[in-house]
Amino acid sequence: MVTKTVAIYVFFDDILKSMNHKEPGSRKTSDAEIITVVLIAAQHFAGNMEKSICFVRSTGLMPGKSRFNCRLHNIGEFLGQLFFHIGQAIKDMSLEIIYSINSSGRGLP
């Protein structure tokens, strides 16, 4: 899971750099690290940010929880737009347009 975490971080760090995303130099945790914690929480900890933060801290990959919630809220709208654009780019790269729809309702929350 550590390798996957690093890959997610590098992916988003590269995307943010390519967008010329600016952050104050005084920050100890980058927006790419915040995004990585959010994705790890969603994928492995049922959305539990606290467990995700503890995991990334235990690996030594990222600093602690300081101001995490404030930072997450500050980039919330940007994060939504970023995911939309990434999804659109992946969709545009697709050679075939095939969608699967679960009409039974099973497995849905």
Whether the Cβ atoms of residue 57 and residue 42 lie closer than 8 Å to each other: no
Average pLDDT of span 43-52: 91
Residue 46 pLDDT: 93
**Domain ranges, ordered by start, for the chain:** 2-93
Tell me the two tokens of residue 3. 């390798």
* Contacts within 8 Å (CB) and 24+ apart, 26-29: 28/63, 28/66, 29/62, 29/63, 29/66, 29/67, 29/68, 29/71
Predicted TM-score (pTM) of the model is: 0.70
Residue 29 pLDDT: 83
Q: Closest Cα partner for 33 from 19, 53, 51, 50?
A: 53
SS3 assignment for 84-99: HHHHHHHHHHCCCCCC
Dihedral sign for Cα atoms in the order 69, 49, 30, 12: negative
Q: pLDDT digit string (tens) for 70-101?
A: 888 888 888 888 888 888 877 777 766 666 66
Q: What is the C-alpha to C-alpha distance for residues 102 and 89, in angstroms, rounded to an integer? A: 24
